[in-house]
Structure 1
Amino acid sequence: MKKIINPWTGMEGYNCIGCAPDNPFGVHLCFYEDGEDIISKWKPSANYQGWLNTLHGGIQALLLDEVCGWVVMRKLQTTGVTSKMETRYKRPISTDDTELTIRAHIREQRRNIVVIDATLTDSAGNICTEATCTYFSFPREKAERDMHFVSCKVEGE
């Protein structure tokens, strides 16, 4: 498993709620490449609860959407936007859980449309939430011009 280098770290104005390390309200995700999968580990807290001791469903969707975006960046070396997301909540996640695993990979790609499957697993290994994101990936030139994207490397590259 190799750590992915965040290409926007240190960029002025970069404040993504999912992955910006300095956003005081963000979830501060870091990502790793594990074969075809992109994964992240995250510890929930009561700051992100919906119901008592239960991780808010919107936060779960945010975590899954974010990992899907990083799949596009790392695997396709471009950026894009989510055009559709289907989320299935299978079991509640406790805000007291020690570590969640967020994992995603490309299911299929047709030109600039990418379908990505993602899961959110609790520390006991139970899949709690699943999502399928349909992503519209940008041409490399647009990613560079509009999103300041150069490349998405792993440590050691």
Structure 2
Amino acid sequence: MKKIINPWKDMEGYNCFGCAPNNQAGVKMEFYEDGDEIVSVWKPRPEYQGWIDTLHGGIQSVLLDEICAWVILRKLQTTGVTSKMETRYRKSISTNDSHLVLRASIREQKRNIILVEARLYNSAGELCTEALCTYFTFPRQKAEEEMYFRSCEVEAEEADPLADK
């Protein structure tokens, strides 16, 4: 796998709850490319619980929505917005788990409407939550002018997302 370079990491004012590395309240996700999939490994924390030692469902949705956006960034080299998200919670997630693994890929593309499937697994590899995001993508010019997006590249060296956690 190769780590995806965050195209906004040094931009002033960039404070995304999902992926900005310096947002103290955020979840600070990082992403990797693995063939057709985008992967993220994330460490749950107690401040994100809904019930005692249980990861809040809204935080799970944030993680799934964010990885879907990064599928668009890397695979289609543009930006856009989520217009619909269907989430299925299958198994609760402990905030004491060592890590979670998220995987997402394009299911279907019809012009600028993209269906992206995302799955969230606990450290035992059990599927806990899945989502289908309907994404409305922007033309490249709009992505560049309004979202300051030029490209989404990967680092040259192979990386192990579990080694970074």
The CA deviation at 1:111 is: 0.3
3-state SS of paired residue (2:69): helix
Deviation sequence 1:81-105 (CA, Å, 0-9, x none): 0000000000100000001001100
Distance 2:45 2:146 in 1: 34
1:85 counterpart residue number = 85
2:139 counterpart residue number = 139
Distance 2:8 2:132 in 1: 26
2:25 counterpart residue number = 25
Deviation sequence 1:110-151 (CA, Å, 0-9, x none): 000000000000000000000000000000000000000000
What TM-score do the two structures reach when normalised by structure 1? 0.99
1:125 counterpart residue number = 125
3-state SS of paired residue (1:132): strand
What TM-score do the two structures reach when normalised by structure 2? 0.94
Identity of aligned residues (%): 67
Write the letter of the residue equivalent to 1:111.
R
The CA deviation at 1:23 is: 0.2
Distance 2:156 2:54 in 1: 38
3-state SS of paired residue (2:30): coil
1:72 counterpart residue number = 72
3-state SS of paired residue (1:78): coil
> Where in structure 2 are the equivalents of 1:40-55 lying within 5 Å?
40-55=40-55
Deviation sequence 1:12-57 (CA, Å, 0-9, x none): 0000000000000011111000000001000101010001100000
Distance 2:82 2:45 in 1: 26
The CA deviation at 1:156 is: 2.1
Write the letter of the residue equivalent to 1:117.
E
1:98 counterpart residue number = 98
Write the letter of the residue equivalent to 1:26.
G
2:162 counterpart residue number = none
